[in-house]
Structure 1
Amino acid sequence: MKGVISTTGSIDLWSLYRDVFAAHAPGLTVLRREDVGDRAEVDFVFTFIPPPDLFEGMTGLKAIFSAGAGTDAIMACPSLPAHVPVFRVEDADQALQMAGFAAFHVHWHHRDMGRYIAQQGRGEWARTVTGLSPLYRRVGVLGFGHMGRAIARGLMGLGYPVAGYSRRAPEPPEPGVRHFHGDGLGAFLAETDILINVLPLTEATRGLIDAAFLAKLPQGAALVQMGRGGQVVEDDLVAMLDSGHLSGASMDVFETEPLPAAHPLWSHPRVLVTPHIASIPEPRFVVEAIRDRLSSL
């Protein structure tokens, strides 16, 4: 099968992946778009931020693969063929990375680690001696697909009570998780002390996490934003932190990336900012996932 590697983003996918395809998927031929003779012979495309005309002439296309967990830039491409399936990266390694990242931030908020960082700067010794068991913090996973399941399993292994919310009831349900779906979002939020968002970006989720949404969480709840930029109304988040309704937030994705230097989230004392690193695809596992998926088409 013949594929094209293409992106207009800051990462050179061709240099990063060409040798990996050769080593781990030798049955696949991959080319840069400019090296393709007859576009009708292209079977698959591997991209993240495609140029607007990328898919023109690719009449034999069978699949499109995203180089990351998100597909929003691909779905917005004007030349995207409506009949061709688009697959996001869903390898086991990335799920483990996401689960570990989520566990770190749940611990950060549950154990109030930001407070101890501040105390260290002041040379202050003050301990919290009650409420330390994970049983005291109900964790809610917003978005219960491949990544959401891995996050839930990891946190349950650490003793946290975990609930999940998805648009439809997950099949199969995850043992030990309290599932909410459909019109159960309000009830899910009301029982969530630490909310982890791993939803994809869609028209329904853009701007979803606003003041009204956050107000449905219990007083003192925390947010771990691992989904996509554009889902959190950042001004509303800052206001809810300032009011004391939220005790803290971990933000890994933003409306504008890189996060502008003057943005208030950089300096907010209750916010931990990371530069979109909850998971970074390992090229080998990405290529193996593409190879296996193509073999089943």
Structure 2
Amino acid sequence: MSALAGGQAVEVVALSRTFDLCRIFESNADVALRVVRPDEVVDPARVEIALAWMPEERAFDAYPNLKMVSSIAAGVDSILACPSLPKDVVVTRVRDHAQADLMAGFAAWQVVWHHRRMGDYITNQARRSWDRSFRPQAPGSVTVGVLGYGLMGRRCAMAIAAMGFRVLVARSSVPTTPEAPLDGIEIIAGPGAILSVAAEADILVNVLPLTDTTRDLLDGNFFAQMKPGAALVQMGRGEHMVEADLIEALDGGQLAGASVDVFRQEPPAEDHPFWSHPRIMVTPHKASDTTPAEILRQVTENFSALREGRLPPGLVNREAGY
């Protein structure tokens, strides 16, 4: 990594209104990237790399020679929406296969949770009730829909299919080149794919990126088009869902249950209705995670590629939003 600056650490400015990114990366002092706060920057004109997550509106104004902005995660929506982001700056994101495996494991767990009605056993334990009356369907008789087919969605679909479930995947783009089929996975592509999958799925897993098209996608109208009695696993972004509409869909009987890992406001307020709803499982945005060392490794890899005239592996299509 010293090739970036002839053996000297490259100064990377950390820009976030919600996290102290420097504290996250302080244990990686041996890495040839020196992550600093804006007030620690020696010369703003020499800053070429920014690490960002939910930056302030004018966060990028001070750095006239910025070349690359890297998200600390897979999501880039808050960066792309920032009004001070220069049009000619490359934006990259984290693509961590180990993180995708964690996401897949979480998705598989939640699918089994809803398929086997595991929440009932928690309730029965509290009541000291030995109730063995529930008979689950064989996995092959259960359709699981996965919304999104990037790295995370693909790993989730593969993990769920490996347990014997029928898996339908919705992807917005039609592949331009033939792709090898994956056992147990059917892919539906195109503008109507999301609603087609939602209408057929017994359990629907959302791992879509957040874009102008997907913001507020999971609303009352969407829930009404889902299969009656279906369950939702929401592990995309909090802004995908209109939270009050989920309560109505559950209380009205359209949906049987939901697992929610991401919220519009995190953490949710103490009086948020999801905390106490009997058919909602709440987890604290921990479906997956990556490590600071892996983030910095990818920042180095992406910036090295950029300097050498190659496409960075984590390059974001700014028009598509991911």
TM-score, L = length of structure 2:
0.85
Question: How many Å separate the matches in 2 of 1:129 and 1:60?
Answer: 63
Question: How many Å separate the matches in 1 of 2:290 and 2:13?
Answer: 16
Contact 1:6-1:50 within 8 A present in 2 as well: no
Question: How many Å separate the matches in 1 of 2:266 and 2:105?
Answer: 23
Once the two structures are superposed, residues 128-176 of structure 1 have per-residue CA deviations (whole angstroms, 9 ceiling, x without a partner) of 4533422122111111111101111111222221111111024646523
Task: Identify the residue that residue 45 of structure 1 maps to in structure 2.
Answer: 50
Task: Identify the residue that residue 263 of structure 1 maps to in structure 2.
Answer: 272
Question: How many Å separate the matches in 1 of 2:258 and 2:290?
Answer: 24
1:139 aligned to 2:147?
no
Which of 112, 115, 118 is the matching residue for 2:117?
Answer: 112
Question: How many Å separate the matches in 2 of 1:128 and 1:145?
Answer: 39
Which of 165, 168, 177 is the matching residue for 1:160?
Answer: 165
Question: How many Å separate the matches in 2 of 1:9 and 1:32?
Answer: 12
Question: How many Å separate the matches in 2 of 1:41 and 1:173?
Answer: 45
Task: Identify the residue that residue 215 of structure 1 maps to in structure 2.
Answer: 224
SS across alignment from 1:89: coil
Question: How many Å separate the matches in 1 of 2:304 and 2:91?
Answer: 15
| Structure 1: tracts of 5 or more residues without a match | none
1:287 aligned to 2:296?
yes
CA pair 173-265 structure 1, distance change in 2 beyond 3 A = farther
CA pair 174-261 structure 1, distance change in 2 beyond 3 A = farther
CA pair 173-223 structure 1, distance change in 2 beyond 3 A = farther
Question: How many Å separate the matches in 1 of 2:51 and 2:229?
Answer: 43
How many residue pairs get aligned? The number is 294
Task: Identify the residue that residue 215 of structure 2 maps to in structure 1.
Answer: 206
Once the two structures are superposed, residues 192-214 of structure 1 have per-residue CA deviations (whole angstroms, 9 ceiling, x without a partner) of 11111111222211111112211
Once the two structures are superposed, residues 31-78 of structure 1 have per-residue CA deviations (whole angstroms, 9 ceiling, x without a partner) of 332232332322211121223332124233221111123222222222
CA pair 96-9 structure 1, distance change in 2 beyond 3 A = farther
CA pair 17-42 structure 1, distance change in 2 beyond 3 A = same
Task: Identify the residue that residue 185 of structure 1 maps to in structure 2.
Answer: 194
| Structure 2: tracts of 5 or more residues without a match | 5-9, 307-322
SS across alignment from 1:230: helix
Which stretches of structure 1, 4 residues or more, deviate above 4 A after TM superposition?
Answer: none
Which of 8, 13, 23 is the matching residue for 1:5?
Answer: 13
SS across alignment from 1:178: strand
RMSD value, Cα: 1.9
Percent identity for Structure 1 against Structure 2? 43
